[in-house]
Structure formats: structure tokens, C-alpha cells
Chain A
Amino acid sequence: MGETFAMKILGRAAGKKVREGEIVFVEPDYVLTHDNSSAIIGKFEATVPGSKVKYPKRLAIVLDHVIPAASSKNAAGHRKIRKFVDEQNIRHFYDIGTGICHQVLPEMGLVKPGSIVVGSDSHTCTYGAFNCFATGIDRTEAAGIWITGKTWFKVPETINIDITGSFTAGVSAKDLILTIIGDIGAGGANYMAVEFNGPAVAGFRICDRMTIANMGIEMGAKIAAFQANSVTDRYLEAMGVDISEALWSDNDAEYTRSYEYDLADIVPVAACPHQVDNVLPIQELPETGIDQVFIGTCTNGRIEDFQAALEILRGHTVHSDVRLLVGPASRKEYLKAMQMGLIQDFVEAGAVILPPGCGPCLGAHQGALAPDEKCLSTANRNFKGRMGEKDAEIYLSSPETAAASAITGRITDPREVL
């Protein structure tokens, strides 16, 4: 019987053949932490006072969650992190404005196909887009890995998702992954690896892969991964990343479950409050007026997302009842968007541009909602209270749907305005 991607990658790291369910100890290639590094530093220092990080080159620290600091308490946290970075010689440190961690790590060439990346952030699964075994851990475990360089994994079972066909107009990767999550459920892939296979994958751009892998955790997945191909090779080689260690499942690998999707069947959908798996076709939604639209985050804050939104938005203005917020995923994406005139187009349409970072996604600052307000967001999570107010409602959609809705002031199928 063949092996799955998860078995192969954990087996190689553990230096032996592994079976599903087995516990293995491995040394991750990178440990990502962000603003929460200040709390992790506290744990590190309390556990091994005066010690050095075991593998400083394997740490990646990105300040992105609450930037610029919203309070002096945040600012003190950021300062503590900068000091630690200096003392411990952390080379891969990216200060505020570089971008959202999950966009920055690929941009900086830290996501090598076939590598293991852990992060004290649940959307670390994003790097599955680049053939990484990438998964979230908590702060305590991050501190543990800073100290020991290693951690344990249970070798997961694998779900296979086979994708064929191509998208119809107005439909994109976000609609696909929301549809999948709606079918599989918020816990349907709990503890499991998810692989995306099938002929349609060859046609996915980097941004499509990232949008899809990013949301793996919303169905509980431990990792959500793609095979490396010419698209990822070209992107990574341009940054000098070693692509020689990519791995993928054998043809006769055994999957615990399999699903099939034809992209031609996917329609614009939204995840409705307060669960990501509460997914409905936009056409089946009752009339839903909105107060705020947010286009950004590690799920959909890239150039292609902005282009897709602007194709709909150009020539229109944002509805007078709606605030449109746009957050580039990174400085690089921001610069590209400026050079291409996208930022100007957004501003002309009435948008407010936010600094490259998480922005309103986690409800800690910018763009917070008032009680009973409704926000349509291109983010990955619509939990109650997520954007700072438990009596607000968050809907999740593609950038296309977000743009169409910003024009009409209610959640709108983008095909209506195309």
C-alpha cells in the first residue's frame, strides 16, 4: 500500500517508516510566531532563564496582528519582541508593515516544499499551498520548540479532495473552499490531513492555493496540502528556494475518505453567522443589508483578489450605507497594487485603505463593529465576537461577492452586476 503525503513527510523527518496514529518526534524547519511572541518570550524566560534559543535561524517572527500598536500595552509587547530578536540574533524578524505572517513567510522564501512549519497561529496551514506540512500550535508549545527545537505529531489519516473542471464567471477559490467546508463541517476533518488532488489543481494560481489551504483549519484539518507543480516551482525558484525536497502521496495511497468537486458546479456562496460551515448560496440568502465590507486578510488580501474585486467595483461607488475597508496582505502586495493603480481605483470608489496587517479580522482594533452591525468580510472566520462585538454579524465571501455587495449595500451575487 502506498503512503500519503503526511506519512512521507513525517516519516522522513522522524527518520523511519511511520503508520497512521503513531506518535513521532520531529524538528520543525520553521516556527512562526507573531505579536503573541511577547507572551511566548515570557514563557521561554520563565522556563529557561538566561538561555539561548536552540535554533535561532528557525524562528520567524512577524508583527502583524495589532499594527501599528493600538495601545501602549501592545506597543510594550512589540518592544519586548524587538529586544528579544536583538538579544537572540533572530534573523527572520519582520517588523510592522511587512505584512500578514502567512503572506510574509512565502514572500521571504521560508516555505520550502517538503518542509515542516509550525506556527502559534491556526492559519499556519496556509503553507500547505507550497507543499509544506504546516500546522498551528499554541504559545506554550512554541516556547517549548524555541527551547528544545523539537515537538511531537500524531501521524494523521488523510482526506482526499479531487477537483475537476473550471470556475464559471464570478466564482473563485473562496467559493470552492467555503462550499467544501459547508459539506465536510467545522469538525469534519478534525485531526486529519487534507490533500487537494485532481486535474483542476494544475490551473490554480498561487493565490488560489493559498486561499484554499488557509481555510483547512475551518474544517478542523491538521494540514491542508497541495502537490508542488510548475506554478509553485516558478514562484519559489524566483526567490532561490530549494524545491528539490517536495513530496507527494503515492498513487495507491489509502485515504480515509474522498470527495469530488467539479468547479463548474460551484456558485457564489457565503458563510453565515456564526459558523464557517454555515454556508449558503448567495441566491438563497434572504435580503441582507450590510454596514461594512472588508476585503483583505491572509485569505483574500492579494493582488488577484483586488483585481477581481475591482473588475466589479470600477465605475461604481460604494453604497452610501456601507464602509469599504481594504487591507493589502503585505507591503509587497501593497506596492504592486499601487503600481498597478488598484489602490487609486479603490480610493476613488470610496474605500479606506488599511496598513498591511490583520486589520479588523481579529477584532482587536481598526474597523471594529457596533452592536447589531453586519459585516461582509473576505476573511476566514465569522465566529460570534470575532470582530470585537458579540452582537454583530459576520458573513464570509469571495472578493467578487464582497465588491458586488459594497455597491448594492446588501449581500449580492456578483453575477448580478458582472
Chain B
Amino acid sequence: MQVFCYKQDDINTDLLFPGKYTYTCSTGPEILEHLLEDLDPAFAKSVKSGDIIIAGENFGCGSSREQPSLGLRYVGLKAVIARSFARIFYRSAINQGLLLVQSPEAVEAYNEGNEVEIDPAGGIIRIEGRTFNFPALPSEMLSILADGGLLNHIRKEFSGGDER
């Protein structure tokens, strides 16, 4: 597991995925080529499934484009832990099935090279033996995450004949 640490505040959607590609890249592999391109050019080549991003305040602010959350989910990112998230990005991550954890304390505590573990169900982050709790998500969101994103969730509802 690698941890990518970008503690600065207000990392926006253009840094996560430049707007100039918005109408030409929409699939996982296309997005990955440019993921975090203007923030950390090395990210796309080195990120692996199970990795974690640590970030500051208002992570994901700006555009409603979903390539950032879709791309991070596509590479199998385990979670983003941030001091706070921008609202549309937060929503989008749930829609993609990507776990976001708000924990200013954990972000504060993290130092380069630390091991980070997350237990989403228990609402616990462990960093070098210290534990940090985060509030559980509302049940509506948990069920979307558990189904692997909004469209899978809807697909399930539809095939189950449970058309609410």
C-alpha cells in the first residue's frame, strides 16, 4: 500500500483531471492517463489498487466533472482521507463507489512513510498505532457504496423489481 500525501487545501478538479480532456476522456483507462496530471505527474504511473490519498481542506472543489472520482475508483484507490471534501466531489465519489473519509485529526497525524489502515465499517483509521474515529455514513449512502456505486445500486433495485 502506498500513501499519496497532498496536504494543501483546495485541490480542485482541474488539478485532479484537467478540463481540456473532459469531452474526450470518459472511460477508466482514458482517465488514468491524465489523472492528477497537473498536481503530481508521477501519480498515474505509480498508483495501485489499495492505495490511499491524504489531503487537506475542500478536496475536489470546482467542476462537477466525475473523472476524478471515477478515475480514482477505477485504479482501486482504497480511500481519500481529507480534512474536508467539496460537496459535489463528495457526492460523486459515493456515486462511483469510492470511499471518502473526513478526519482532520488523521490528516494532521500522518507523516511521510507512516502505515495507514482503514476499517470503513467500524469507522476507524489506524496510523502507526494511533486510532482515529470517523462518523459512519448515513445508511442511504452506505447501501450505494456497498453496491459499488449509484448505477449498480439502481440496476439492483430494478432487477429486484423493487421500483420505488
Contact = CB atoms under 8 A, between A and B. Distances in A.
A136 B140 CA distance: 19
A384 interface: yes
B65 A47 contact: no
Contact of B154 (A147, A187, A222, A384): A147
A358 to B, nearest CB: 10
9 contacts: A48-B155, A73-B24, A77-B23, A124-B64, A138-B66, A140-B92, A140-B151, A187-B61, A363-B18
Interface of A: 23, 35-36, 39, 42-43, 46-48, 65-66, 71, 73-74, 77, 119-122, 124, 136-141, 143-144, 147-148, 152, 154, 186-187, 190-191, 217, 220, 222, 275, 277, 362-364, 368, 381, 383-386, 388, 390
Given A141-B95, A220-B86, A363 B62 contact: no
Q: Which 10 A-B pairs have the closest CB atoms?
A: A187-B58, A138-B92, A138-B66, A383-B14, A136-B64, A122-B64, A140-B95, A39-B26, A363-B20, A47-B151
A290 to B, nearest CB: 20
A363 B158 contact: no
Contacts of B64: 119-122, 124, 136-138
Contacts of B26: 39, 42
Nearest to B97: A140
Given A138-B64, A190-B58, 6 more contacts: A73-B23, A119-B64, A140-B150, A190-B85, A383-B14, A385-B20
A138 B149 CA distance: 12
Interface residues of B, number: 43
B126 interface: no
Nearest to B56: A187
Contact of B69 (A48, A137, A138, A363): A138
Given A23-B138, A48-B155, A140 B22 contact: no
Contact of A36 (B22, B62, B87, B138): B22
A138 B22 CA distance: 12
A147 B95 CA distance: 14
A74 B22 CA distance: 11
> Interface centre among A35, A65, A140, A217, by most B CB within 10 Å?
A140
> Interface centre among A48, A138, A190, by most B CB within 10 Å?
A138
Contact of A122 (B18, B23, B62, B154): B62
B128 interface: no
B21 to A, nearest CB: 8
Contact of A190 (B13, B38, B86, B151): B86
A385 B64 CA distance: 16
A384 B91 contact: no
A385 B15 contact: yes
